[in-house]
Amino acid sequence: MLAYTFKRLLAGVVTVWFIATATFIAMHSVPGDPLMNDKAVTAEIRANLEKKYGLDKSGPEQYLIFMSNMLRGDFGISFTQQNRKVNDIIRDHFPVSATLGLLAVFFAAIGGIVWGALTAIYRNRLPDIIIMFLVILGISVPSFVFAALGQLSLVKINQLLGSSVIPVAGWGTFGHMLVPSLVLGLGTMALLTRLMRSSMLEVVNEDYIKTAKAKGLSPIRIFFKHQLRNAILPVLTVLGPQIAAITTGGFVVELVFAIPGLGRYFVQAVQQLDYTVIMGTTVFYGAFLVFMVILVDIIYGFVDPRVRLQ
Amino acid sequence: MTDSILEVTDLSVEFATYGGRVKAVRGVSFDVKAGETLAIVGESGCGKSVTVQSLMGIIPMPPGEITGGVAKLNGKDILGLTSKEANEFRGVKIGMIFQDPMTSLNPTMTIGDQIAETLMVHRGMGKKDAFDRAVELLDKTKISEAAKRAKQYPFEFSGGMLQRAMIAQSLACNPSLLIADEPTTALDVTIQAQILELMSELQRTENMSIILITHDLAVVARMADRVAVMYAGQIVESGTVDEIFYESAHPYTLGLRAAMPSNKTTREKKLTPILGSPPDLFHPPTGCGYFARCPYAMKSCEKMLPPECLLTAESNHQSRCWLQHPDAPEVQELFQPARTQEEAPDAG
Ligand SMILES: Nc1ncnc2c1ncn2[C@@H]1O[C@H](COP(=O)(O)OP(=O)(O)O)[C@@H](O)[C@H]1O
Ligand code: SF4
Ligand SMILES: [Mg+2]
């Protein structure tokens, strides 16, 4: 398991390096530059600015500087926000995005497993049919629709109760986090429900379930000790990539609910071609996601001995 | 007659499928006596597994349904019980092992834990005691380094080892009956012999009965005291192993024997396959199930189901064939299995 973890981490580092390089190349092949403002800049000022940001150097030189700074954990200064360090932007806003995202993943995983198990138990009966209908909605409706609907229902609830019990937007308390993270996790929850259902139905027909019955175990024991654990495995394998999907979806939900997450800065930076912010946040997000996927794989190893012991 | 521990009378099982109702088991009766091995033999799909799995209450219901019959274990009914009632005998009085040991154990639980589980559930043992006992059981089934092996997972075992572990698990509560559904079919020949050896040895030391399901007559010859030959959901012939091999009566049993390789198989005595295929169990024949393939078929066989006929007054050798019916004319050459298939009506 230790060797396995180490190998995964090493691969993770390579992946992050790859992401950083790809981002760098992409940034430098996009037409236009951050200094090309609506206001005309004289050649002299332009030269000074380019010097300040190191844009006067050759591509390979810039790449080396970028990489060595990054290794020291320094992503540079924003082009558009006066003298604000990219590190500060990440430090101030990433925890918000991460909390939102992880909470969403948590809801999605728990919800997916519970709903999926329920649909399998009630196969082809009313609860199954209702849940599977909702699942199709969850998969096909984009998250900004749910975000708007979620916000709307919060408004209605507050109106009904006569006071703002649950905040409609903003950030700070658990009340702020609940609905946005549910909304954000909804698509993934639907996907996991469907996966869990088919996985449960597959496991039910496995020979070892027959063995468990022939051993004289109670249906409840068979369900929890033999069926559930094995059915969760395929769900865990897609959880890693789903975390990526949730985090990307987070930008939209952050906008709708006015959540001060990193997403907003990222979108802004792209619009304004703020090189350092784009590269900094991309690499940071990339590293975070790679790390999360590895974490999920390690958790998987604990559930599945075939992975852990090889 | 010694006491029967299991008596099955007229068991019928059907499956409701999209294509209609599969009549998988059609009135099967047999009994198992204390300490004996009953072999149930027949080609694939004839209802062997469904028979024993319905006794254990582990066929999927729906689509499965036990449409008739009685089964008594030590005089107590075991069909149509709730899972709670059935769990008083499953794993306790009857242990069961299956065809494919590779898929018959939970892949995410250690072998020791799986065996211990049976003991914890039925004997109320604590985790530690149950695990220690599991190690002893593994030792009993000749798994070396049992203590270490008990902590391993199924994927770390070979097929033969897994079948040993399955046997250890099924013996945990000292059952009086072991049901082994093709326990060696998925294993290499050498491993097969070892597993069979282990089973007969444990049968003696544990003093239990065995229902051994197989399609391999060599396994029957080696293991069985009595044999039930199944065809198309019915038992067509039953008797002691000697009666079945040396006084085979039913044309299907004769066919099976002619298709079986033996030491005597030489150039002049070729293997003779049984031509045609078993009947459609969606619409099983009203008459004899073997009619379409039987070289001796008569007109009356098609429409009328032959009853189970006792062959001699003193033995319990039965055959479900009109040829052995008391009213049938004497047929001398019947006990000569070398009858060829050329006389068979076209089965197609
Ligand atoms: N779950 C099921 N649903 C429908 N048909 C089944 C099911 N299980 C078994 N059968 C049918 O019952 C018949 C007997 O099967 P089985 O007892 O497994 O044969 P075998 O003698 O090879 O063990 C077969 O025709 C099979 O198609
Ligand atoms: S009853 Fe008739 S068809 Fe059936 S096995 Fe006997 S002879 Fe053949
Ligand atoms: Mg079978």
Residue B195: closest CA among B215, B223, B224: B223
pLDDT at A112 over 90: yes
In the structure encoding, which two tokens stand for residue A60, read together? 């390979």
Inter-chain residue contact A215 with B91, CB threshold 8 Å: yes
- Provide the CATH number for the domain around residue A187: 1.10.3720.10
Distance, CA of A133 to CA of B75 (rounded, Å): 50
pLDDT at position B117 is: 95
pLDDT at B230 over 90: yes
pLDDT at B266 over 60: no
Pick from B104, B121, B156: which is nearest to A211 by CB?
B104
Confidence of residue B346 (pLDDT cuts 50, 70, 90): very low
Structural domain count, chain A: 1
Inter-chain residue contact B90 with A221, CB threshold 8 Å: no
CA distance A129 to chain B (A): 19
Top mutation candidate among B293, B294, B325 for ligand 2, by most atoms within 8 Å of CB: B294
In the structure encoding, which two tokens stand for residue B287, read together? 């008459």
From the CB of B49, is ligand 1 less than 6 Å away?
Answer: yes
Residues of A in contact with B153 (CB under 8 A): 305-306, 309
In the structure encoding, which two tokens stand for residue B322, read together? 């009109």
pLDDT at position B337 is: 47
Assigned domain for A170 exists: yes
pLDDT at B347 over 70: no
Inter-chain residue contact A233 with B169, CB threshold 8 Å: no
What's the CA-to-centroid distance between B304 and ligand 2, angstroms? 10
When pLDDT is averaged across residues B91-115 and rounded to a whole number, the result is: 94
pLDDT at B211 over 90: yes
Please state, as a whole number, how many other Cβ atoms lie within 10 Å of the Cβ of residue B33. Answer: 17
The A residues from 66 to 105 touching B (CB cutoff 8 Å) are: none
Contact predicate A231/A193, CB 8 Å: no
Residues of B in contact with A206 (CB under 8 A): 103
Can you state the percent helix, strand and coil of chain B, rounding each to 5? 35, 20, 45
Assigned domain for A205 exists: yes
Inter-chain residue contact A230 with B96, CB threshold 8 Å: no
Q: Whose CA is nearest to atom 26 of ligand 1?
A: B45
Pick from B90, B107, B153: which is nearest to A215 by CB?
B90
Pick from A215, A216, A229: which is nearest to B108 by CB?
A229
Assigned domain for A284 exists: no
pLDDT at position A34 is: 67
Q: Whole-prediction pTM value?
A: 0.81
SS3 B11: strand
Inter-chain residue contact A217 with B87, CB threshold 8 Å: yes
Contact predicate B280/B20, CB 8 Å: no
For A54, phi and psi rounded to 5 degrees?
80, 20
The residue count for chain B: 348
Q: Which residue has the higher pLDDT, A244 or A132?
A: A132
Confidence of residue B296 (pLDDT cuts 50, 70, 90): confident
Confidence of residue B13 (pLDDT cuts 50, 70, 90): very high
Ligand 2 site residues (CB inside 6 A) read: B 251, 288, 290-291, 294, 296-298, 301, 306, 321-323
Residue in A124, A199, A213, A227 to test binding to B, most B beta-carbons within 10 Å? A213
Distance, CA of B270 to CA of A167 (rounded, Å): 87
Mean pLDDT, all residues of chain B: 87
Assigned domain for A112 exists: yes
Tokens 């946005």 sit on residue: A180
pLDDT at position B345 is: 47
Pick from A211, A225, A229: which is nearest to B105 by CB?
A211
pLDDT at position B128 is: 94
Any CB–CB contact under 8 A between A56 and chain B?
A: no
> What is the SS3 assignment for A217-250?
CCHHHHHHHHHHHHHHHHHHHHHHHHHHHHHHHH
Any CB–CB contact under 8 A between B169 and chain A?
A: yes
Inter-chain residue contact A207 with B103, CB threshold 8 Å: yes
Q: Which residue of B lies nearest to A213 if distances are taken between CA atoms? A: B58
Q: What is each CA distance from A228 to A105, A220, B106, in whole angstroms?
A: 19, 11, 11
CA distance B27 to chain A (A): 23
Assigned domain for A33 exists: no
Assigned domain for A13 exists: no
Assigned domain for A5 exists: no
Inter-chain residue contact B89 with A216, CB threshold 8 Å: yes
Residue B107 Ramachandran class (φ > 0 left, ψ -120 to 50 alpha, else beta): alpha
pLDDT at A170 over 90: no
Confidence of residue A304 (pLDDT cuts 50, 70, 90): confident
Contact predicate B30/B8, CB 8 Å: yes
Q: How many CB pairs under 8 A join A and B?
A: 85
Instruction: Quote the percentage of chain B above a pLDDT of 70.
Output: 91
Domain that holds residue A260: 92-270
